[in-house]
């Protein structure tokens, strides 16, 4: 069901039966106006779209032809899934809508995973698909699929256009829907004959007749708190001795990072974030307690469960954060502020649910005073000192250490993307971005292969920043062909492969839950008892694969080689480069709260050490 309870719209009309109405004579073209494809691209230009990611096919060649003639950048990827992830990377780094384009049938269905990913992480993207001519719809024509019906459950809106005069209105409505309220994906499906039909210049729906005022609908929500809600929040905050702010991607979507910092300092409350909230609060700040959840910091998980007031901002109480949701923050009152009212009391019943834009809400609460929290802040600082993230040292390269070192080398001033798995969790723990919109992870949907195409979108959006895909060998192998996109378009993405020759998180769970039965989890060409760091060869050979795509690459096996290799990788910020880092093959991700567990079940290491000694101290504060 659509999370904003909006009807997915189909614009329909009688089929024209016209597969092509192309007019080559310039005089006739001037008389007849613009074709549907030209109207579509004109609308995108008016909405501020600068680049489209996609792949050509029979049902979208009209649009691609117009993109070329109108000089709009078109980044051709190697697989349509990469086009969606690239659009996500673009959207997440800029805060603007990302656009991707696919043909009908398999081209359209290849977008579905990325659309679902954008839906889960609330990323505003517009997916445009071509389809067979209207008179063939529903006839099982070659490469026909009802993509609108397929994506309805995972979009904010899906539109099938059957009349050329509807294009302008649909595009404006779709973009407005994607970026308003809680952002998310929308899809527009345009049959080929509608792309080719002409709309006379006199038609009021023609995009060139629109005024600048028509873009006012593209502004995001600014819904605020009522006076009663402000008063109730103020009373709860002023009486709290152990407040904590629980922050998610909603802060980033609302551009509320400054307001969050001011509010936390005002009420003197520590801040924990979800993985979607990484970068929303300065990691160097004394009130920062980093990330909570299954693989979050022990000190973050302990602190939020020892708080007496939790202020949840732009979060959805995801199961990977809460574990056993009935036991999560059981001791605390909770204020939950979210722009999506359907998230309120959905996963967790709270004392004060508030439907509002978090930026507006934080501004309204800027004069609220907190209680005395000195003892609480001292306790949280002691937790942070007592339970740091583990980082191994030695001649072998530990994955945690290389990521932390990479962060130091770029001083946190890079955009990082990642695939999904152990490397993703280590990046969450050890890469501390200094700017918001710089940590791009497939968080809610967990899509392997996300990292490289998302990095392409991010680098396209921010060509003057360093963009690094911190990837796993398993995740990278799913979209490694996008190195060709980097080469073809000169996209200077740096790929750092955390290579342990395993589907690492799968292997870790198999060892912990399935008695070490490592079925189907090796990346190597054969199962070998020899650790990857001791093997003469690794499989697949990403260095050779990169060379096949004409991408420069290198490999390191020992810590002594690391700095020279990073020097080479970072030498030219505009050069695509891959660095294959052979890490300890059986390192596990800790801390870890088992699925469905609580913070009291936290596992700190392979020896199952637990910080139980700290658990009951909060009640004395």
pLDDT digits (tens, 9 = 90+) for 109-161: 999 999 999 999 999 999 999 999 999 999 999 999 999 999 999 999 999 99
pLDDT at position 586, please?
Answer: 92
Which residue in 425, 428, 478, 505 is the catalytic one? 505
> Residue 484 pLDDT more than 80?
yes
Residues in a beta bridge with 530? none
| Mean pLDDT along residues 6-28 | 36
User: What distance in Å separates the CA atoms of residue 465 and residue 273, rounded to the nearest whole number?
Assistant: 24
Residues in a beta bridge with 496? 470, 579
Whether residue 192 lies in the annotated active site: yes
| Mean pLDDT along residues 201-219 | 46
Residue 410 vs residues 468, 509, 566, 567: alpha-carbon distances, Å: 10, 32, 10, 11
Which residue shows structure tokens 């929500």? 221
Three-state DSSP at 566 gives helix
User: What distance in Å separates the CA atoms of residue 96 and residue 357, rounded to the nearest whole number?
Assistant: 17
Whether residue 512 lies in the annotated active site: no
DSSP states along 70-101: TT-EEEE-SSHHHHHHHHHHHHHHHSSPEEEE
Displacement of CA 469 from its chain's centroid (Å) = 13
pLDDT band, residue 617 (cuts 50/70/90) = very low
Which residue in 38, 62, 78, 80 is the catalytic one? 80
pLDDT at position 213, please?
Answer: 35
pLDDT at position 533, please?
Answer: 56
Whether residue 80 lies in the annotated active site: yes
Residues in a beta bridge with 186? 126, 157
pLDDT band, residue 537 (cuts 50/70/90) = confident
pLDDT at position 528, please?
Answer: 57
- Tell me whether strands 439-440 and 494-499 are parallel, antiparallel or unpaired: unpaired
Residue 49 vs residues 164, 356, 497: alpha-carbon distances, Å: 21, 28, 32
pLDDT at position 214, please?
Answer: 42
More confident residue, 410 or 393: 410
User: What distance in Å separates the CA atoms of residue 510 and residue 286, rounded to the nearest whole number?
Assistant: 38
Whether residue 317 lies in the annotated active site: no
Which residue in 192, 348, 384, 494 is the catalytic one? 192
Which tokens go with 460?
Answer: 């396209």
pLDDT digits (tens, 9 = 90+) for 346-392: 999 999 999 999 999 999 999 999 999 999 999 999 999 999 998 87
Residue 15 vs residues 5, 38, 62, 111, 233: alpha-carbon distances, Å: 30, 20, 19, 26, 56
Tell me the whole-structure pTM to 2 decimals.
0.91
> Residue 597 pLDDT more than 50?
yes
Q: Could you tell me if 430 and 391 are in contact, meaning their C-beta atoms sit under 8 angstroms apart?
A: yes
| Mean pLDDT along residues 566-577 | 97
Which residue in 142, 217, 349, 534 is the catalytic one? 142
Which residue in 143, 262, 333, 481 is the catalytic one? 143
Residue 154 vs residues 49, 133, 185, 207, 288: alpha-carbon distances, Å: 23, 25, 8, 29, 34
User: What distance in Å separates the CA atoms of residue 453 and residue 86, rounded to the nearest whole number?
Assistant: 5
pLDDT band, residue 531 (cuts 50/70/90) = low
Closest CA to 438 of 463, 460, 403, 467: 467
């Amino acid at each position: 069901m659509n999370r904003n309870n909006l009807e997915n719209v189909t614009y329909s009309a009688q089929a024209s039966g016209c597969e092509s109405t192309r007019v080559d004579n310039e005089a006739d073209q001037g008389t007849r106006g613009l074709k549907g494809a030209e109207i579509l691209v004109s609308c995108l230009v008016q909405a501020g779209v600068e680049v489209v990611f996609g792949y050509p096919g029979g049902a979208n060649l009209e649009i691609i032809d117009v993109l070329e003639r109108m000089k709009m950048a078109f980044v051709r990827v190697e697989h349509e899934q990469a086009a969606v992830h690239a659009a996500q990377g673009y959207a997440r780094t800029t805060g603007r809508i990302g656009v991707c384009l696919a043909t009908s049938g398999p081209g359209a269905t290849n977008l579905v995973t990325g659309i679902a990913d954008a839906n889960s992480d609330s990323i505003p993207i517009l997916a445009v698909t071509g389809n067979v001519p209207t008179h063939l719809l529903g006839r099982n024509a070659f490469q026909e699929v009802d993509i609108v019906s397929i994506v309805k459950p995972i979009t904010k809106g899906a539109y099938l256009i059957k009349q050329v005069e509807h294009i302008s209105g649909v595009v404006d409505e779709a973009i407005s829907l994607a970026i308003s309220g809680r952002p998310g994906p929308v899809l527009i499906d345009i049959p080929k004959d509608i792309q080719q039909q002409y709309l006379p210049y006199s038609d009021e729906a023609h995009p060139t007749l629109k005024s600048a005022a028509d873009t006012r609908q593209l502004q995001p929500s600014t819904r605020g708190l009522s006076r009663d809600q402000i008063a109730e929040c103020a009373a709860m905050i002023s009486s709290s001795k152990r407040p904590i702010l629980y922050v998610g991607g909603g802060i980033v979507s609302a551009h509320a990072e400054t307001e969050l910092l001011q509010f936390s300092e005002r009420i003197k409350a520590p801040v924990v974030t979800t993985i979607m909230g990484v970068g929303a609060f300065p990691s160097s700040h004394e009130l920062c307690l980093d990330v909570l959840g299954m693989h979050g910091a022990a000190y973050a998980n302990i602190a939020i469960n020892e708080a007496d007031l939790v202020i949840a901002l732009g979060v959805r109480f995801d199961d990977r954060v809460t574990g056993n949701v009935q036991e999560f923050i059981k001791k605390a009152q909770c204020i939950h502020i979210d722009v999506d009212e359907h998230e309120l009391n959905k996963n967790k019943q709270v004392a004060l649910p508030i439907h509002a834009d978090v930026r507006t809400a934080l501004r309204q609460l800027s004069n609220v005073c907190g209680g005395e929290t000195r003892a609480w802040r001292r306790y949280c600082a002691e937790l942070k000192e007592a339970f740091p993230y583990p980082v191994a040292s030695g001649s072998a390269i530990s994955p945690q250490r290389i990521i932390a070192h990479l962060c130091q080398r770029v001083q946190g001033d890079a955009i990082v993307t990642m695939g999904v798995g152990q490397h993703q969790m280590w990046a969450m723990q050890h890469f501390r971005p200094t700017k918001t919109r710089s940590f791009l992870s497939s968080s809610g949907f967990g899509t392997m292969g996300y990292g490289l195409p998302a990095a392409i979108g991010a680098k396209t959006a921010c060509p003057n920043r360093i963009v690094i895909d911190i990837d796993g060998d398993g995740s990278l192998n799913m979209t490694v062909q996008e190195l060709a996109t980097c080469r073809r378009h000169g996209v200077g993405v740096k790929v750092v492969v955390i290579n342990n020759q395993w589907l690492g998180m799968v292997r870790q769970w198999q060892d912990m839950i399935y008695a070490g039965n490592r079925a189907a989890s090796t990346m190597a060409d054969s199962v070998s008892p020899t650790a990857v760091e001791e093997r003469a060869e690794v499989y697949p050979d990403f260095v050779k694969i990169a060379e096949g795509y004409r991408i420069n690459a290198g490999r390191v096996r020992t810590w002594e080689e690391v700095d020279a290799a990073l020097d080479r990788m970072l030498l030219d910020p505009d050069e695509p480069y891959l660095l294959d880092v052979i890490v300890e093959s059986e390192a596990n991700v800790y801390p870890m709260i088992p699925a469905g567990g609580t913070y009291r079940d936290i596992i700190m290491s392979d020896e199952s050490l637990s910080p139980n000694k700290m658990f009951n101290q909060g009640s004395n504060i």
